Amino acid sequence: MTGVKRPTEKHLMLFTGRAHPELAESVAEIMGVELTQRRLINYANSEIYVRFEESVRGSDAFVIQSHPAPVNEWVMEQLIMVDALKRASAKRITVVAPYYPYARQDKKHLGREPISARLVADLFWAAGADRIMSVDLHTAQIQGFFNGPLDHLTALPVLAEYVASKYDMTDMTVVSPDAGRVRLADTWSDALGAPLAIIHKRHDPNLVNQVAVHEVVGDVAGRTCLLVDDMVDTGGTICQAANALLEYGAKRVICAATHPILSGPAADRLNSTPFEEIIFTNSLPLPAGVHIEKATVLSIAPLLAQAIHEIFEDGSVTNLFHGTFG
């Protein structure tokens, strides 16, 4: 029997899909729990089949699944796993989605658009999930989309500890790549005790993944600039921001982001931009064939393991971050 069984009959079981099993394996190793064996196959017409190889009745089930491309396949796989657990009488089901899918579609920018982040929350609820755990949501309002508890973790302590241990903080400036990331950058600024700068840019709502950098607000000349964001997708925003900082006299530019989506031209853009270092977490697997020359990948497995332990033991997830996030 895999998992941890207690005299109170609480029974923790870990499950993983096929999107990023390495992360789930690291979490399981830290917790001293074996991943529950399952059979996952795709039929010839691409439909997904799931079956667990042992009883899950009465268990506290944690379903770990990252959502890299193809996002829709991995979302559907996790939904089917949740449905299978519900129908097999799992006592409580927690969806562990380090990168929350469709997070950027959290509101309507133009008429006749969907709010897909809310739809994803509704789908997990309908499938039978009791709670969701995610890391560094694109916007905090997503926490209110799910009808049950949503544990919003942050990788900031993992990333900030690495930056503080490697770089001199006396000439460090934390930079927000746009106005939408100011709150995140402000949290970084407090964590590192470094001043804050902001890059003002504007999106054209009719053009996807294209931005125009305008000006840098704050003192960056002669300083080490740390660009912070929750994700890097095509790399357009972060690379234009880095070039703007260098034009304004920055000594060097570092990038720190939780989720390495790295779609399309991201690798070429990041490799051709003179970053000192690009720091990611392993919330998502690096896409096959993608090589970022100056990338450093930090593990969030200890963070997820701690949070899962707190939830299982009815402890406090907030205390993991000293109240920084809810």
List, by residue number, the catalytic residues: 201
Instruction: Name the 3-class secondary structure at 172.
Output: strand
Q: Write the single-letter amino acid at 91.
A: K
How far is residue 257's CA from residue 307's CA, in Å, rounded to a whole number? 20
Q: How far apart are CA 261 and CA 74, in angstroms?
A: 14
Residue 249 contacts residue 221 (beta carbons within 8 Å):
yes
The answer for 69, left when phi > 0, alpha when psi is -120 to 50, beta otherwise, is: beta
Q: Which long-range contacts (CB under 8 A, 24 or more apart) does 191-197 make?
A: 191/156, 191/157, 191/160, 192/160, 192/163, 192/164, 192/226, 193/169, 194/169, 194/226, 195/219, 197/173, 197/225
Nearest-Å Rg of the Cα atoms of the chain is 20
How many CB atoms lie under 10 A from the CB of residue 271?
Answer: 17
Distance CA 81, CA 68 (A): 17
Distance between CA atoms of residues 242 and 275, nearest Å: 7
Q: Identify the bridge partners of residue 200 per DSSP, sorted by sequence position.
A: 215
The CA distance from 41 to 58, in Å, is 25
CB 314 within 8 A of CB 131: no
Please answer whether residues 21 and 67 qualify as being in contact, where contact means their C-beta atoms are separated by less than 8 angstroms.
no
At 241 the three-state DSSP class reads helix
Residues forming beta bridges with residue 295, ordered by sequence position: 278
